[in-house]
Each structure stands twice: as C-alpha cells, then as structure tokens.
Copies of this chain bind each other. A is one copy, B any other.
Amino acid sequence: MSTRSDPLFPAGARFEAAKPGISGENMRSSFGARLDEVLQSRGSLCVGIDPHPALLAAWGLGDDVDGLSRFAEVCVEAFGTVAAVVKPQSAFFETCGSGGIAVLERTITACRDAGALVLLDAKRGDIGTTMAAYAHAYLDPSAPLAVDAMTLSPYLGVDSLQPAFDAAERHGAGAFVLALTSNPEGPQVQHARGMDGRSVAQAVLDSVAARNAGAEPFGSLGAVVGATIAGADIDLTTLNGAFLVPGIGAQGGTAEDVRRIFGGALPNVLPSVSREVLRHGPDRSALRDAVARQIEAFAFLRG
C-alpha cells in the first residue's frame, strides 16, 4: 500500500513533510486508505465505548473516574485488537471533567496501540477559529486527544466545517458529518428543503461527496446515516466515502436494513454497535464473542 499514489499528500506535501521537525504522523496515508485497509483485514464494524450510568452499574462499576477508567480498559482489552474501528462517546467522558478526559486520552492511545482506528463521537460544529480549534484538538496528531477521525454536526452549514476538512487532509485524518439520522426528531431539520428543492440531508451528502470526488479507494470524509431511516428520498450512491451507520442492534437496525438502504454502496458501510455489544460485559470473552458475531453478521458488506 505504501508505494501507491496517495491523493491527500501530493509530492510537494510529502517533500515538505520530510523536513526536520515534522512529525512522522504527518506522513501517514489518508484516513480513507487506512479505513479501507482495516475494514478489509478486520471486517466492517465500529464498536462504541459508551460508559453510560446504567452500563457502569450493570458492570459493577461506579459512575466516576475510576469506573470510567475500568470500563474503557475492559473494552480495549476485549475488542481493541479485533474491531476495525473503536468509537468512544465523548459525552460520557466529559461528565467527569478533566479526570474523565484524562481517561479518554489513555483510551485513545490504548485503542490505537491495539491496532484499531479511533473515531471520536463528539458531534462538534462551529465556525472560523473555533472550528479550527476543534479540528486541531482532535485531528492534529500533536494534540493530546488526537484521533483518527471525529464526528461533526453541520447545523451552521457544512461549509463552516471546512477547517476540519482541511485538518483531516493535512493530517491524514477523517471526519464523519451528520447527514440523515434515525431518531424521530431528526426530520424536522434534516428533511427540510432548501431553495433548490434538495433536503438538508441531501445537501450535506452532496457537499461531502464533492470533497471526496476522485479519491481512491474512497475519500476521507464520511457521513452519518441511520440504519432505520424510513421513506427518505436520498441518494447514497455518490458519497465516495464511508457511511457510519449507528442504530444497529439494540436500537433496532438490522443487517437487512443496511442491505436495503445502502444497496449501492455496501463496501463503504461502517455499521456501528454499542449497547448490542456492551450489554455482554464486563466479561471480556463474552464481549469479544459479541463483537465476533456482529463482524460475521456484516461480512456480506465486503463479501
């Protein structure tokens, strides 16, 4: 893989990266290429680390920094070496303030050491220098919370996320933009239509697709699209990027839903499970078995 042309780092950029003082992280291949590779080798699955109070209690852990830390350690030990992508949910770490964020830092490092790509579910979105700060915080390898990719929210307009798209390109990182979600409250915003007749969700997808155009194997910018969207008049064929598909398992989405909704883009689908796996903890073997079953259930995506 390392010898082929890398669309995110044309020759000039690579030359710059070779200068002293530039981190080796800047030399890594694009997120799209790295994601493609790990989906191929580990199977198409993203597993969440969602230490919410009910799960902490079920695992016999306290709803505090120590509980968070133990929960995350068990997750990494159980599936960090088998899941293609691990997705910590930032909110649950933020509840414990700086202590929780320190756990998040260690969790990110441990996941990456285990060979998983780390996608931080943070749903950040802002404008200008503030958006650039979020991009730096999570996509710049020099930052303490640097991950492989993050989720973004486009209420301020997709183009307001440009500093994150730029950072992703610069650092070989990725971003998944909320487009069309399965929750019942989503259509109020996502199905609304602009002057050109397109829905907000379609406009988001089109905007991300334009940025991914021509990238191989696919672009580093993805979209979040629910597994149980119903009756949505949306074109999922042009993204040329990955679809993060939450809502699988405990939230009602099935492999059949994925097959039906993403028919034309199955190899680009990244199904995301959380509770469906985590309810089997804290037993590591049971967690690992649950992950294995999900990987098997979605083997058809790249079969």
Instruction: Tell me the A residues contacting B by CB distance below 8 Å.
Output: 50, 52, 54, 89, 91-92, 94-99, 101-102, 104-105, 121, 123-134, 136-138, 143-145, 153-160, 178, 181, 183-195, 199-200, 203
Residues from chain B with Cβ under 8 Å of A193 in the complex: 192-194
Residues from chain B with Cβ under 8 Å of A126 in the complex: 91, 123
Excluding A98-B104, A192-B200, 20 further A-B contacts by CB distance (< 8 Å) are A52-B129, A52-B130, A89-B130, A91-B124, A91-B137, A94-B134, A95-B133, A97-B144, A98-B101, A98-B102, A101-B101, A123-B153, A125-B153, A127-B181, A128-B183, A154-B189, A155-B190, A156-B178, A159-B184, A160-B183
Asked if residues B183 and A143 are in contact (CB atoms below 8 Å), the reply is: no
Residues from chain B with Cβ under 8 Å of A133 in the complex: 52, 89, 91-92, 94-95
Asked if residues A186 and B200 are in contact (CB atoms below 8 Å), the reply is: no
Asked if residues B189 and A189 are in contact (CB atoms below 8 Å), the reply is: yes
Asked if residues A155 and B158 are in contact (CB atoms below 8 Å), the reply is: no
Which listed residue, B95, B101, B125, touches A123 by the CB 8 Å rule?
B125
Asked if residues B194 and A194 are in contact (CB atoms below 8 Å), the reply is: no
How many Å lie between the Cα of A199 and that of B194 in the bound state? 9
Q: Which residue of B lies closest to A187 (CB)?
A: B157
- Min CB distance, A186 to chain B, in Å? 5
Asked if residues B153 and A155 are in contact (CB atoms below 8 Å), the reply is: yes
Asked if residues A130 and B50 are in contact (CB atoms below 8 Å), the reply is: yes
How many Å lie between the Cα of A195 and that of B186 in the bound state? 14
How many Å lie between the Cα of A91 and that of B137 in the bound state? 8
How many Å lie between the Cα of A138 and that of B94 in the bound state? 9
Which listed residue, B91, B131, B156, touches A181 by the CB 8 Å rule?
B156
- Min CB distance, A271 to chain B, in Å? 18
Asked if residues A185 and B200 are in contact (CB atoms below 8 Å), the reply is: no
Q: Which residue of B lies closest to A65 (CB)?
A: B144
- Min CB distance, A79 to chain B, in Å? 20
Q: Contacts A144-B96, A145-B97 known; A130 to B185 CB distance under 8 Å?
A: no
Can you identify 21 A-B contacts, CB atoms within 8 angstroms? A50-B130, A52-B130, A52-B132, A94-B137, A94-B145, A96-B143, A97-B102, A98-B99, A98-B105, A123-B126, A123-B153, A127-B181, A128-B183, A155-B190, A157-B189, A158-B185, A188-B200, A188-B203, A192-B199, A193-B193, A200-B200
How many Å lie between the Cα of A136 and that of B131 in the bound state? 24
How many Å lie between the Cα of A9 and that of B216 in the bound state? 58
**Which 8 residue pairs of A and B lie closest in terms of their CB atoms, listed nearest first?**
A97-B144, A157-B185, A192-B192, A91-B133, A98-B102, A159-B185, A98-B101, A155-B155
Asked if residues A125 and B155 are in contact (CB atoms below 8 Å), the reply is: yes
- Min CB distance, A167 to chain B, in Å? 12
Q: Which residue of B lies closest to A199 (CB)?
A: B192
